[in-house]
Every structure is written in structure tokens, then in C-alpha cells.
Structure 1
């Protein structure tokens, strides 16, 4: 049965590791193809894969090493050398080259030449390996004896470069650029600062491969492949993939497609420890508590922990000015601490709808953990509401409906028939047109199979400009949650009518005054973007924003699909939109 590794993929046997390596297949093939093109004589193309913790950097490097060893052409010409995850002993180039030699000794032993490996181990204790130049020459000589070109699979490259004296960077660069010189395939949790410094030796030296979060399709496919590889043990997960995909989609939305979190999720689903998305979430958070708690305690000062706390509990991106207010710390001090937290990979700078940058935790599931473990009762309640909303939104029935509309949905990228149907177009035209009450009432009366009679009731009230009664009916439709498939189309239809009748801002206020902006956060964020512009979504945390973007795309599709209103009469209740 295939094993699963969460933090250290090296502990798995090769076959188990390969069976569990289900993501990044296209990137793997690309990297191996590049190595075939370089061969033993070609110009080296050095690369670094950059991704947050848990994105599969260490697994990717190991998979490249195995790919070289199992490819007849690559195995004859290349020498894959793997290192420990953090090379804390590197303070100068001689330490680095000795680490390379130790990796070479490991390769020799795995290749069946234990005698050569033992000899190299003894040589490493001698004086020939003590100087930077001497160690480099000795390593290159030993590698050349194998008849292969070294491929240095270096994890945490940023730590290695930071530890080396700047003047030694140029020496390392010259060696890496030499004929038949080593090829570096590396990984890093952040951009090494030397790559972006025009005065540094490694400015634009490495080609970058970004390890982005797995998208929804990739995550589900990985779950299915792993369940199949684990045979009978994977049956519970296979059943969930087929019958309850919404549970996986909810956790994917909250975990931001992090492969490590998804591996943990797989384990708990296989053990059948929980049966709802929120139960899944709580078990995952409990398992990760020691790991995330240690990350917080790694911070050196109370000030750094205070700023991290304020960012995490705010959840949405927060500006340095607002952080200063929240922490009572001068904004200049806040800014310098933010730079340190960014360098540590804990905080990310993001765009907002305004002129100032926002800051949020870089690892999104870390933020979810922090909210649930350190937030107020209200904060934890928001997370529970979001999980419930996503669970209802991603029901199997609703997903079938979404797939049925996908060819016409603007969010799918298809440029065919607009998503809005004739009913929506007629209703929005009538709603926007002065004196259009009769048309709106007629559209409401002919509404096709709503999930609740409150839908046409709300449309009729809007026809008479009875906002309060229409909002109460909308509230009744929102409260249908838990009694069946989420009424997505009904809600989007009603929201479009409210906005078309000029009640956009008033309905936003209603959401906030009734607490529904928290209970139905993605729907609220989508409607705010519909009324005020899609840049407002930049001010929303990613966990809410991902679903809000999908809802907003469908709302925008309904608006763009409506026929232009006749030129006669005046629009009521809202300003005329400017082109573009």
C-alpha cells in the first residue's frame, strides 16, 4: 500500500514516493526535457522553483533526481546530487563544495560503488578540501571521474546564498558558467534577494518556476489518483470524491490548494474521522497546531508577534496605516517590521482597491488556523459561517447546474452565448426603464421554477419600489440554506433586480445591518463588486474572494447579457455608467 509523507518525502521508499507524486507532472516533464537539451556539453540553464511552505518543493527536487536516474539518456550523462533540506553548516564556499562531495558519496554508494564512497569520505577529512578554490577543484575532479555532469538539487537556495560572503558569489557563478560546469536546480520559499539586485552576482541568473497552489481540478485529480494507488485503503476517499466532492472543494478553498494540507486532508478522510467540511477543518487545524504554534514562537520579538497577530485577526488585507492604528505602533516602525516579516516568508504584500498596499499572511491556512485558535467568538463564528456557505454552495446538485451553464458562463472563458437568459434580460431591461413596473411584474409572474415562492414575491415588491418587503423576501431565500441545494440562480437573479432598480447601495447597507454580510460573505462581496466595481474584491481575504469572484462573474454575465434599454425615458435611482 502506498505510503504518505507530510513533511519529509525522503522517508518514503522510491516506489511509494512515485505513487504519491500526483501533482506538478507537467512541470516535471518540462524540467527533465530541459536537462535532455543541455546534456553534458550544452550551456547550463540554472533554475529555482519558488513556492510557500508545503507547496511541494522538496518533493519536486526528489522527483527530478529519480527522473534522471530512470531515464537511460539522462542517467548516462548526468549526476543527480541531493542535499539535506537546510544546509545550516554553509558559511563559505568550501563548506558548500564539501556538502556537494558528501552528496556525491551518497550517489556512489546508491550506485553500488561503496568502496569509492568510503574513499571520498576519508578524503573529505584531509586538507585538500579546506580552501574554497581547493574544495571546488577537488569536487569537480571527483565528479568528472564519473563521466557525468553534476546536477545540484539544492533546497532552500535563499539560505545558502545568504550565508555565503558576497565576494564568493562571483566565484560560484564563474564555476556554474564553465564548460561542463554543474547545473543547479534549486528551490526556495521566497525570491532570493540576490536574484533581484542588479549589483549582485546572481542578478537574473536563475530561471524562475513558480509553484502556485493547486487549482480545484488538480486537487481533486490528485486525491483520486492517490486513493486509487492505495487500493482498498483509499476506498473511503474515492467514495467522497464521487459522492461528496463539495467537502473537498470547501477545504481546497480554505487551504488555498496547498499540497501538504491536502495530504493531511486525505489522511483524515481515509480514516473517516469526520463527516462534514467543518469537522474536517477542525481535525486539520488540530493536527497542524504544533507546526503553526512553532512558527509564531520563532519570531524574535513581541513587536513582530503583535504585528503578525493584528494582520491575522484582521483577515482581510490591511494597510500599514491601519496596522499602526490597530497595534498602537508608529507607522515607520510597522513598515520596518513588515519588511522583516516579508523576508521570513510570513507576510505577503498585496494590491488593494486603494493607492496603498495591503498585507496579509502569506500561507492562507496559517491564517485560518490563527483565526480559529486566537480569534474572538465572533471571528470563529465567521469562519463557521463561511464553511457552511461553501458547503451549501458546492453541493453536488449545484455543481451539476454550474457545469451545465459552463459553456455560456463568462467565467469559463467561452465567448459564445451570454450566460443571461431571456428572462433575466427582460427583467433587467424593465427594471432599469422608467415606468417599467408592469414589465417587471410580468417577468416575476413568469419566473421559471424558482426554489422559493419568495423569489417572484420579491420581484413584485421591487416593481412597486417596496424595498423593505423585497428585502424581507430576499432574506427568506437566503435562509433556505441547509434545506436543499443552494439557490444560486434565484439569489443572483434577485440581486440583479435590486441593483437594476437603483437599490444597490441600500441593499449593501441591508446586508451589513442584518449581519448577513458575515453569514453570506462571498455573496455580499460579489454584490459589492457588482455595484462598486470589481476592484473592491482586492480588499477581501482570499478565502472569501475565491467564491465571490465566481459569483461576481455570473452577476456580471447577467448584466452584460441583458439587452440595451430603449432610449426613451430616463433611468431611475442610479447614476448613468461611464463607458469602460
Structure 2
């Protein structure tokens, strides 16, 4: 059964605290903050003075009422603070004394103080000046050392009554009585607080209240329905049909919460008969409200608003000025004020600003007074907004005979809807859909697509829904939406193309290929369709056909603009023509320097062609343009690692972790970057985070052991490796075995370590294991772990013996070259580099298989000492190409 609780539309202060809370939306954090600020300042000398600014109906009174009730809930409030809540409309304030009297009256009513009432009445016997002084004293005596909070609405109107003299007195009163704080509200900023020479300039902390968004509206109307016990309405609101109807309400109300309360009674009315009388009653009730709002304006402002109401659509400042015989400057100035007060809204198109009435309902209500011979035009417009085309048709079918007038309304609304190029509800849906898509909010975008289907249901609406469902991983539902779209327009190449693209994203490559081929049957010169067909063929491992398709795309493209050069670059990229693709992308970037997709594809081409430094620069630009692109940042970190920029790579990983803090693999990647930056403690912490998130990843535990060993926590390191072996008992790789052996030798267990390393090398010779492709990390780890010359010499001696025994010097050489990467660590100084080089040169003398690694090591040490790139010219170009990335350099 529904509750009989009614909601006051124009006086929220009459509602109970529970009711106010039940239907409140959007501004809970602001209420919490205002309550907290008051509690902090009530006992402090410095007070917070707050001004809430927003047009009528935006929710100022509701918010102030909630703050009042929240404060009154504190049991100790009266022992430390009194509240004087002035009436919403204090019409009689025309002087400073009047304002003081309103404060005293509010205090007497709040605290039922009959004695204070008598004292107020006695003030009329005094002269105005003496009455002011006495009133100030009465307020101070009433507070008796407590703080006082003034709740004042329509402060702009009160300040008009005070005039400058009264404002100056009030400002001095606040200055001399630090126990008073004020929470005020006004329809807009006004001279009394905004002009630099006004007494209250800079006095208030100003909070501008914004209108409700569509999502706020849905939440508010659902709350109202539940508060009134109407679960069927609450359920209807959650449906696409219900949300589409709310979209119409949102358009009519323009974000004004007061009007949503008014409209809540109409949402579930389906038949025209049940809508007509309540609609007329509502408009009749709202007319005085809007007339009062018009009366609040200056004559020039009223003229502009009336013109916009009559004009019905958005118009430029130039047209408004000309039609109203006003100067452009005057019109702009007045429109700015009207926008701030919430009467109009603006849209920018190029250099022109277009203005329209913020609340279309205002135009409908005011138009009611102008109708002669029946409100037919008003109803036609309302019905066009309220019902979808399908609903209008169904309403006509449902009308019984004899309803001539209603039949006329519906037919005219249906005709107007068919002729209309811009249905406001559809436009609002598309605008919101684009906003959600651009912010990757596919859940809300899907809801909007459902509303579009309910409003008109064309093929593009189904494509939008298919796209959202694909992004949300709802594969089967996305396929159904694709089917609906194609059934509606089976021969539309654009629909087929978009559906094929979504199918490719779903992994439905056969279906995607089929639809791209249908596109090409309709438009054989569609280069992008040829390209995407090639991508689908690639996924199906039909590589020869794919290349032919890519070549056809490249033949067809005739780049004349940014899109053309970008497309040409894509086709070249798909053919592996990376250098040519880079040139095309650079031409596209000259035309559109901030196009994210072009930068992404260019970056990938530079990476694939191993132009590491340029690739890093390109990825840095890409991540600047799109800071949420995780894959781009991971690519960037990998490239930074390749060229020895380990600390930069660690910072890039940190950027990724801000977006994906639960990504264990990025924590592990960051750990490696920290390790080769010489930040071992940071490396260990990143690995601790990694193993906490993914405790079953064996290589995380293995890397953790390396960091622990570098910190001389060798027992813990061995335990961590044991854990790694337990997790992967059937995959005992050389890297982990050799690290274990190296740690054993470091702690003095030479025999055990040598035996384990011997076993690991024998393991490498097993033909079933394939060729070992990784770097031998134990060599670089030794340089990080210790700078003890004797320890180096003994390890190297063992390695030479054992790797020689199994004829695996080339693998040891890879490890030696990899150790050059460690030179970038700040605490590996030039003396350590020289000693490292000399040890290896002495111990490996005469071993031909290690000649190249030793030559690269020696050259690297010379470069670090001299910082002269000419040192590198002593190497052949093929050897330089190995060394340059490790030194963070590009070739000559």
C-alpha cells in the first residue's frame, strides 16, 4: 500500500528530516563538509562563512534544511552553539535594524523564549539608533558565550534591503563579534559580495550548486517513488522505457530538482486520458512560480527571456540583440547574468554562442497564459517529448471513439515528431552516450543505448548497444544486437562495416570476414574494408590472402588529409613496411598533431623496427595525450629497460600501477627496473607486493631471492628460491638453478654451489630443453651483490671451468655482455668498472669464444670513463649495434 506522504514542491523546509534524507541526491559530501566546518569553527575564533549560489529550485533550501537537522541531532549543540534560521523569504528587511530583529525573532521561535519576545516588542519604543544597539546586545546576551550560526536564504534580496549603509553596519557587526558564523544562499552572485569595493567582498566561501545530471535525476525519482511506497514506479524507472521518459523530464526541467518532484506524479501515467488533466493542473500551479521568477528580473532581462520562450530553439547573441533592439554588448552582459541565475543555457559552435531557455517547462507554463482557443500547441510539444513514436501510435490505437480532441493532439504530435530533425530526448541520449563512451563508461553507455532503442530503435542504436556489450564482455548479447542492426539495414555498408568491426573485437573472425566482404560487394573501393578484411584473414591464418587484401587497401588509398595519411600508414604497417608507415604517420601528425591513434601506430612501428630512442619519444608523447593507456605505458617501460633507462622504467611502471594497483606482473616488472637502478630495497618491496597479489607465480619468488641476496639476506633468498621450486617442480630452469648455486657460493658453500651449477649446465645440454635464449643473470648479479675483487675472481674462475667443460662459453659471454647494463647503477663507480673489466680480461685471456664479449666490455668501460662516443667507432658497426642500446645511445 502506498504511503500518503506528500512532498512540498516549493517549501522543502516544511518536510521532516527523514523525508529530506530519503529524497536527497548528489550533495551528501557537501552537507557533510558544511556540518564538519561548522563544528570545527563553532569553538574557534575564526569562523567559516559560506554562501551557496544557485537558481530557484536548485535545492538550496533542501540543503540548508538538511544541515540544520544534522546539527540539531548533536546532543551537546545547545551547550556550545545556537542557530537562528531565518525565513526563506524575509520580505520586510529594509534596514540593518530589520535584519537584527529577524535574527532575534528566529532565536525566540527556535528556543521558545517568551522573555526574548517581550524584549523584542519593547524595541519599538526606542529610537532607531538605540534600537540597533539594544538589538545587538540582546543577541549577545542570548548567546551567552556560545557561538551563533545564522541560516539565511535569499541573501541577495536581504542585501538589497540593507543597501550599502546597512551592509557596512552588518560587516562591522560580524567583525566585532567573532562568535557569529553564517550559512547563506542566493540565486546568483550579486554586487554586495562580488564588487571589490563592497563591504562583503572576499567574506564568503562561495559554493556554486550545479543542476542534477541525468543519472542524479534517475536516482532522485527512484528515491521519491520508494519514499511514497510506489515500488512499481521504482521498477519502471529502471527500465529503458522509464529512463527514456525521465530523459524527457530531464530536458523539460533542465536539472531543477524542484521540478522533478512535480514530475514524479506523471512518470507512470500511460494513457493520454490520465495525463491531460494532471498536466494542465501542474502547468497552472507552476505558472505563478515562473511569473515570480520573471518578476525577479530587470525589464531588459525579461524581454530576452520572453523572446527565447517565443523563439523555442537556441539562437545567437546577434539575433537576440537585433530582434530586441539591444546592443550586442548589452545583450551579452544580460545573457551572462541570466545564465548565472539559471534562466538560460548556452552552447558554443565555432565562434558563436547559442542561447535557449534552460527549463523548457518555463516556456510551456508561460505559454499557457498566451493560448487562445485551447492549449493545442502546448500539448503537441509536450506529447512529442513525452512519448516515443511507437508510443504515440499505440496511444492512437488505444483511444476509444469520441475522443476527437485527444486524437487531434496525438496526430499533430506524431506529425511533428516525424518532421522534427532534432528530437530533444534523442539528442540528449546521443550526447550522453558520447560522453560515456569517451570516458570508457560502457555500463552507462549501454543504458543510454537501451533508451535510444526504446525511443526510436533504428539500426545505429542497435550498433551502439552491440559496441557497449562487446566492451563489457557480453558476447552473445552483442551478437544479438548486431543481428538486429543488420536485419534493419541489411544493405547499408556503414552498418555492415561497424558490425564487422565489433565482430572482430569479439573474436568472431569468420563472421567479421563475411560482413567485410558484403561491404566490398556494395563499395569495392572502400580501402578500410579491404584493410580490415586482411586483418580478419590474418586471424584466420590465411596470410597470403591477407597480404593481398592489405595491398589492395594500399593501392586504393589516395591520402589528401590526416585520415588518409593515417590509413595509408596503417596499411603499410600491416604489410610490415614500418619505415614507410612511419613516414605516413608523420605526415598525418603534421596535420593533426594530437591524434592519439596516429601516435600509437607510429610508436608501434618504431618499436617493431628497433628504433628504440625514437620509439621512447613517441610513446612519451602518446602517454601524454592518453595518460590512461596502460598498454602504451607498458611498451614504454619495456623500451626504457632496453636502453638502460631503468629508473625511468620504474617510474613508468609506477604510472601504470596508479591505474592498475592490483597488477602483480607490473609490480614484478617495476622490481626489475628498480634492481638495475641499484634501488634494491625498492625492488624487494615491489616484489613483496607482487607475491602478495600472485603468490603462485614461481618467477616472482625467484626474483625476490635475487633482491634478498643483493641485500645479503642470503638465508631468506634461498628459502624464496625453494618456494619457487615448490611451485614449479617440473620446470627447473637454468636461471633459478644458477642463482641458487651463486648464492650458495657467496655464503661459502662452494662445493654445493659448484655441484649445483654443474648440474644446471648439464641440464642445458639436454636436447629436450631446446636452446637457452635468456641472458645469464648471475654475472651481472655478482657485480651488484659484491664489489669484493677476490670474490669476483673466484666466481669467474669457477664459471670459466664449468662453462668450458660443457662448451657453453657463448652463453657465459651473453651473461658478461649483459653485465654492462649494470654500469648505469649510480653506485657502480668507474673504479669498480675498471676492476671488473681487468678481472675478466685477466681470467679469460686466450679464450677465443669470449673475445667478442671481452672487447665489448672493454669498450663500454672506456666509454663510461671518457664519455666520448668516438671510442665506439673502434668497433665494427655490427658490434656497435649490440653495445649502443645498453649504453642508452643511438648509432651514429
Q: TM-score range by the shorter chain?
A: 0.5 to 0.7
Report the equivalent of 2:782.
Answer: none
Q: Is the 8 A contact 2:146 2:179 kept in 1?
A: no
- How much has 1:125 moved relative to structure 2? 3.5
TM-score normalised per structure 1: 0.63
CA–CA separation in structure 2 for the residues paired with 1:182 and 1:200: 20
Question: SS of the counterpart of 1:122?
Answer: helix
Shift of the alpha carbon at 1:177? 3.2
CA distance in 2, matches of 1:501, 1:292: 59
Match of 1:224 among 222, 245, 253: 222
Taking the aligned partners of 1:313 and 1:575, their CA distance within structure 2 comes to: 47
* Mapping 1:210-289, distance limit 5 Å: 210-231=208-229, 234-243=230-239, 244-269=242-267, 285=283, 288-289=286-287
Q: Which of the numbers 304, 307, 310 marks the counterpart of 1:310?
A: 307
Q: Is the counterpart of residue 169 in structure 1 residue 167 in structure 2?
A: yes
Preserved CA contact (<8 Å) 1:277 1:391: no
What is the match of residue 207 of structure 1? Answer: 205
SS in 1 for 2:266: helix
Partner residue in 2 for 1:493? none
Aligned 8 A contact 1:150 1:182 in 2? yes
| Cα contact 2:153–2:184 (8 A) shared by 1 | yes
1:544-559 correspondence to structure 2 within 5 Å = none
Contact preservation (8 Å) 2:81, 2:146: yes
TM-aligned CA distance change 1:55 to 1:144, over 3 Å: same
CA distance in 1, matches of 2:466, 2:284: 38
1:325 is matched with 322
Corresponding residue for 1:108?
111
**Gaps spanning 5+ residues in structure 1: where?**
413-423, 425-438, 466-499, 505-530, 532-555
Partner of 1:26: 29
1:66 aligns with 2:69: yes
5 Å matches for 1:39-188?
Answer: 39-109=42-112, 114-127=113-126, 131=130, 133-145=132-144, 147-188=145-186
1:434 is aligned to: none
Q: TM-score, normalised by structure 2?
A: 0.43
The SS at the match of 1:164 is helix
Secondary structure of 2:182 counterpart: strand
Deviations 1:417-475 (A, max 9, x none): xxxxxxx9xxxxxxxxxxxxxx999958956689xx9999888555558xxxxxxxxxx
SS in 1 for 2:87: coil
Deviations 1:19-74 (A, max 9, x none): 44455222111100111111233311100111111111112122211111112244
Contact 1:94 1:131 in 2 (8 A): no
- 1:353/1:59 Cα in 2 relative to 1: closer, same or farther (>3 Å)? same
Given that residues 319 and 356 in structure 1 are in contact (C-alpha distance below 8 angstroms), is that contact kept between their aligned partners in structure 2? yes
8 Å contact 2:52–2:208 — kept in the other structure?
A: yes
Q: Which residue number in structure 1 is paired with residue 593 of structure 2?
A: 579
Equivalent position to 1:335, from 306, 331, 334? 331
3-state SS in 1 of match to 2:68: helix
Determine the structure 2 residue equivalent to 1:486: none
Aligned 8 A contact 2:171 2:199 in 1? yes
Structure 2 CA distance, aligned partners of 1:365 and 1:119?
Answer: 47
Alignment of 1:363-512 (within 5 A): 363=359, 365-367=361-363, 380=381, 384=417, 385=420, 386=423, 389=426, 394=448, 396=450, 443=497, 446=500, 461-463=522-524
- Tell whether the 8 Å contact from 2:57 to 2:257 is kept in structure 1 after alignment: yes
1:7–1:402 CA distance, 2 compared to 1 (3 A): farther
Counterpart CA distance in 1 for 2:138 and 2:568 is 70
Measure how far apart 1:102 and its partner are: 0.6
Q: Deviations over 1:382-425 (max 9, x none)?
A: 8655256369874647699979966998xx9xxxxxxxxxxx9x
Cα distance, 1:122 vs. partner?
3.2
SS in 2 for 1:267: coil
| Alignment coverage as a number of residue pairs | 455
Q: Is the 8 A contact 1:236 1:272 kept in 2?
A: no
Q: Which runs of 5+ in 2 are unaligned?
A: 386-416, 431-447, 454-461, 473-481, 483-492, 504-510, 527-556, 573-579, 595-892
**CA separation in 1, counterparts of 2:558 and 2:308?**
38
CA distance in 1, matches of 2:494, 2:267: 48
Distance 1:50 1:457, change over 3 A: farther
Mean CA deviation greater in 201-210 or 453-462: 453-462
CA RMSD of aligned residues (A): 5.1
Distance 2:198 2:43 in 1: 28
Distance 2:48 2:159 in 1: 18
CA positional deviation for 1:242: 2.9
Contact 2:463 2:495 in 1 (8 A): no
2:312 and 2:103 mapped to 1: Cα distance?
43
- The aligned counterpart of 2:476 is none
Write the distance in 1 (CA, Å) between the matches of 2:115 and 2:323: 62
Whole-Å separation in 1 of the counterparts to 2:428 and 2:279: 12
How many angstroms does 1:283 deviate by? 7.9
SS in 1 for 2:83: strand
SS at match of 2:82: strand
Distance 2:90 2:523 in 1: 67
Shift in CA distance, 279/199, structure 1 to aligned 2, threshold 3 Å? same
TM-superposed CA distance for 1:89, in Å, is: 1.6
